[in-house]
Amino acid sequence: MDEAVTDPPGERLVPLGNGITLAYETFGDPSDPPILLIQGLGMQMIGWPEEFCEQLAGEGFHVVRYDNRDVGHSTHLDSVRAPGLQQLATRRFGSEQYSLADMAEDAALLLDELDLAPAHVVGVSLGGMIAQTLAARHPEKVRTLTSMLSNTGHRLKGQPAMGMMRLLLKQAPKEREAFVEHVASVFEAIGSKGLPRDTDEVRRLAGRSYDRGTDPAGSGRQLGAILRSGNRTSELRRISAPTLVLHGSEDKLIRPSGGKATARAIVDARLEMIEGMGHDLPRAAWPRIVGGIASHARRADEAAGREPAGRAA
């Protein structure tokens, strides 16, 4: 089993003024166009691997990744009880349950604190929902939107395959080695089938996540935020930022209909399906993902009269 891994020396904490403090890390030249990366349900910022971030930075971008509230080293709202199964099933929550709008507000305040707005915003899964909400409610802070492996909240679009939710709701073990194996089994179920996958890399990421701190209740509150926010299709129609929608053809957690619904809801959005990709970020798909994000951002910056990012020499 891997030994505990310490955090990168570049990690910082920033209080936002709304009671939330976010942990974040940057890659690349601060003078380059900014890209904000937002991770998914229960996932920490290290879910965007360092090498992935460095590849984006190598395309001429200043890359920022961060822990959402209730994961990693950001604020955990321990005073708020996680929603129970009945609340999740009925979508009836108390006033203390935050929403996607609150998580998008965190992202907006982070961009303000780091003086990065407007930024290119990229979100995956729950992170895609947060990014969509940010673009809809704070259009002045978003240059472009890239929504990956995500959906609109419509109950009939992008719903998981049978058995997926039961797997995700299963409580992870508390012991490190068992936790790592649990995460590996989850990604074996939801991950890419048609592309090469590195299971050792998945285990290393799980070990690092365990070492940074796990919080099942925090993940429950994040799931509550998704369900409390309901169907956001009408809100997505307000998005004016140039939008790229990326989805895996083999995604069993948020099935491809979720990506298609997202692209239909956002005016002039472009949908790209990645063949063989599931609900993960396999290294084999990085050239397509990194290249797609970079070219999408450059086109938009050129159209807006901004200096587009250049490739590193």
Contact 35, 142 (CB under 8 A): no
At 2 the pLDDT is 42
| Angle of CA points 206, 208, 150, to nearest 5° | 55
Q: What is the mean pLDDT of each run of 10 residues along the chain (313 residues)?
A: 49 96 97 97 96 97 98 96 86 91 98 97 98 98 98 88 73 92 92 90 95 93 94 97 97 95 98 97 97 97 88 43
Contact 169, 182 (CB under 8 A): no
At 94 the pLDDT is 87
Look up the pTM and report it: 0.94
At 9 the pLDDT is 58
235 inside domain = yes
At 1 the pLDDT is 36
Q: Tokens 């709008």 — which residue? A: 101
145 inside domain = yes
Nearest Cα neighbor of 192 from 68, 262, 263, 289 is: 289
- Give the helix/strand (H/E) hosting 21: strand 21-27
311 inside domain = no
Look up the CATH number of the domain holding residue 210.
Answer: 3.40.50.1820
Domain containing 262 equals 12-303
DSSP helix/strand/coil, 126: helix
DSSP letters for 153-208:
--TTSSPPPTTHHHHHHSPPPSSHHHHHHHHHHHHHHHS-SSS---HHHHHHHHHH
Domains: count for the chain = 1
Contact 254, 160 (CB under 8 A): yes
5 inside domain = no
Residue 159 neighbours by CB distance under 10 Å: 16
